[in-house]
Chains A and B, each alone.
Chain A
Amino acid sequence: MTHSAVFPSPASATPEGGHLLDVRDLHVEFRTSEGVAKVINGVSYHLDPGETLAVLGESGSGKSVTAQAIMGILDTPPAVIRSGQILYQGRDLLTLSEEQRRQVRGKEIAMIFQDALSALNPTFPVGWQIGETLRQREGMSRGDARRRAIELMDLVKIPAAARRIGDYPHQFSGGMRQRVMIAMSLAMDPKVLIADEPTTALDVTVQAQIMDLLADLRRDLNMAMILITHDLGVVAGVADRIAVMYAGRIIEHADVRSLYKAPAHPYTKGLLESIPRMDVRGQELSTIKGLPPNLMRIPSGCPFHPRCPYVQQVCIDVVPHDLVLGDGRTSACHFAQEVRDDSSTR
């Protein structure tokens, strides 16, 4: 079988001027008996070789759905991809056949999930599950797959890997289980790793270990990574760029340092202000008032306007475009400049 028939070229052969992964104007709906929920409304982001993009947002903002659309593992129905492109090495994944997409999964783009306990099959040993990818996709023998599984478990720093290979998922601690999950995703040396809230289900101390592991692996294996999270604290040390999602849109996009320094969207600003700061005493933590929007009835104009402290009539009437603020920053806010200036004088 020619496994890499669709994408024979190595990562460096990305088309000139193009990105490794480029999501363009993606629209996804969920059609249920209750009505149509517009989950993704024109998301665009890109990923270059060797970088880490953090996708930030509340649950329901569409960050996981976008990732599942990239992987091609959305349940259709209820999900329907209305329009858009997902270019990987210049080819639109959405135009490929199901068989071609299957070849991409795991080999080119791999994914790890939030809750490793339910994401791993409870009735097979972990070594078997890691090796399954290699046996099924690479035609490896049982023995070879087993040896490679031990190597992978060593790689993600599971102690006594050779001894634990026959254990079942429930016999591992939460952190170790997530390491198994990571080892499984690395089996075929993917070029892109999507990590969907990889540390949410874990203890705080374990969270840091897993994030460090992911950052190290990304560097050592020269992968690109999309890190999906709702936790601003997780992002800072690991990501190069941040895309903030709200109601199925990217509302702000910037490199990590400038976004932390001066957010240019009221939503991002609100998020940053809700983090307790070490350097300010007696501060009053602010929260964002109101609730996330109902995706069956997204507010007119800017979807954030009912909760926005900067709201004007124009926000209710006109959907804001991405405003380019120089050095690659964008913000989907009519008053992006003002918000950024406010933030930087804070």
Chain B
Amino acid sequence: MSDFETVAASENQAARRGPSGEPGIPGQVGTPQKPRSLAGDAWRDLRRNPIFWISLTLVVLVAAMAAFPELFASNDPRNCALSRQHAGPSGGAIFGYDFQGCDIYARSVYGARASLLVGLLSALLTGIIAVVVGMLAGYFGRWIDAVLSRVIDIVLGIPLLLAAIVLLKRVSTGGPNTRLAAVIVVLAILGWTTAARVVRSSVITAKEQDYVAAARMLGAGHSRIMWRHILPNSLAPAIVVLTIALGSFIAAEATLSFLGIGLKSPTISWGIDIDAGRVHMRESATPLVVPSAFLALTVLAFIMLGDAIRDAFDPKLR
């Protein structure tokens, strides 16, 4: 019996090896002339996406605010005077003053630092946990995978806010830096599971690739194969997940601070200011609206950025 596809397939391999192979890929309608790289395609898509540019601009702006707040706001956010309570705009205070008589705009600008710090470091820590767990589970498989996957299931089954409340309740003392570290660690401990799953599945895919088999045949050890060969190829999807996670971590930090169990004064955090503004909203809404806008735009920027990148890399559904 005969099978056209196998005939074509064996030919196909021969052509790929030979220098005079025909261009074009068999059996596929709509294949372009030259196979382009995935990253190249993704970049071409991204460049044409206005959402990508808007969110990127916002991210850069917030990052600049976090690094050099004094460039954006001339007033000292901690210079508060009750005599200015809910006073209108004056001088550098373009949005006026809050209940405590602090410059609303300056506080919102200075709030970017804590938010971004928590977001970035939590995402970094999350990434490290996710890569280690996902790599071990995906690479070694068997019982290691079974155990780690169950652990992921259990952690994923814990409601984030409730668990963060319980965990942070433990750290009731300590200075501002201790609290900052506590929030970061708690968010990372609870937030690594999605990224770990992504790493695990891409490691499993990468493990089956020819170049890994080749490296193994050349006598490369487990750790070399894992970190030098598999990791670089499994990182891209994890980074997309982490970009979106960064946005959620910033939102989570603000939420915890809002509840009074995250960051605490004197650290400046949008969550604290939103809570304070909420209490006095009937007298003046600006102290509520301004930090709310800062927080919402920042979180949105990261989530939209991650979303745009993911769409570009995974155009399956467009």
Contacts and interface: CB of A to CB of B under 8 A. Distances in A.
Q: Is A in direct contact with B (CB under 8 Å) within the complex?
A: yes
Interface residues of B, number: 24
Contacts of B15: 290-291
Interface stretch (B19-27, B174-182, B200-208, B279-287): B19-27
A202 interface: no
A297 B30 contact: no
Summarize B's interface: helix, strand, loop or mixed: loop
DSSP majority for the A interface? Answer: loop
B27 A233 contact: no
B24 A293 contact: yes
B31 A294 contact: yes
A296 B32 CA distance: 8
A100 to B, nearest CB: 29
Interface string B2-29: 1111011011100100000111111111
Contacts of A275: 1-2
A291 B21 contact: yes
A305 to B, nearest CB: 12
B50 to A, nearest CB: 19
B310 to A, nearest CB: 19
B209 interface: no
A232 to B, nearest CB: 5
A287 B30 contact: no
Interface residues of A, number: 31
B5 to A, nearest CB: 6
B4 A291 contact: no
Interface string A49-83: 00000000111100000000000000000100000
B173 interface: no
A250 to B, nearest CB: 16
A60 B24 contact: no
Given A287-B11, A290-B11, A274 B27 contact: no
A113 interface: no
Contacts of B29: 30, 37, 39, 60, 295
B33 interface: yes
A294 B23 CA distance: 8
Interface of A: 30, 32, 34-35, 37, 39, 57-60, 78, 230-233, 271, 274-276, 287-297, 306
Interface of B: 1-5, 7-8, 10-12, 15, 21-33
